[in-house]
């Protein structure tokens, strides 16, 4: 059976990931090694779906910005039936030409700046889009 593309199908994984994030990491104990493997697969896929949702929300913005989630620094490591969840916020050190450390910007600021720049569509544009939808015979809820 493949992975669901419905983000709501990952409520358990989302809850475990959020709790682990709030606590700086955690261990998740599963009933079997297979369930531990499946948890890891579903947790990583959930993170991928979060990126897809964010990219879809930004699809009407001409300037491309990176998508970020709170779980980007998450690493899952299996040891038998136990999944070790860790968050490595600094996987490397960026140095200038003289060897001095450089400060990296918060990646979430890119997303916030993107949405700060978005202007809502005016009524005339929305009406024109509705007319086009009706002319094409599209049903939108």
Mean pLDDT for all residues in the chain? 81
Q: Is 102's pLDDT higher than 90? A: no
Q: Are 30 and 81 in contact (CB under 8 A)?
A: yes
* Per-residue pLDDT tens digits for 106-124: 655 555 554 555 566 667 7
Q: What is the pLDDT of residue 54?
A: 81
Domain residue ranges in the chain = 7-90+103-136
Using the predicted structure, report yes or no on whether residue 56 has a pLDDT greater than 60.
yes
Predicted confidence at residue 6, as pLDDT, reads 86
Question: If 0-12 CB within 10 Å is exposed, 13-18 middle and 19+ buried, where does residue 29 land?
Answer: exposed
Instruction: Compute the average pLDDT of residues 129-134.
Output: 75
Distance CA 44, CA 10 (A): 10
pTM of the model: 0.63
Query: Torsions phi, psi of 72, nearest 5?
Result: -60, -30
């Amino acid at each position: 059976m493949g992975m669901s593309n419905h983000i709501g199908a990952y409520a358990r994984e989302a809850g475990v990931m959020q709790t682990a994030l709030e606590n700086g990491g955690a261990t998740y104990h599963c009933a079997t090694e297979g369930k531990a493997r499946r948890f890891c697969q579903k947790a990583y896929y959930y993170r991928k779906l979060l990126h897809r949702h964010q990219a879809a929300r930004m699809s009407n913005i001409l300037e491309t910005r990176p998508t970020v989630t709170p779980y980007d620094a998450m690493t899952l490591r299996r040891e038998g039936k136990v999944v070790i969840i860790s968050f490595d916020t600094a996987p490397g050190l960026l140095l200038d030409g003289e060897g001095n450390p450089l400060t990296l910007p918060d990646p979430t600021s890119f997303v916030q700046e993107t949405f700060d720049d978005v202007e809502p569509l005016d009524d005339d544009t929305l009406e024109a889009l509705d007319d086009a939808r009706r002319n094409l015979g599209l049903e939108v809820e």
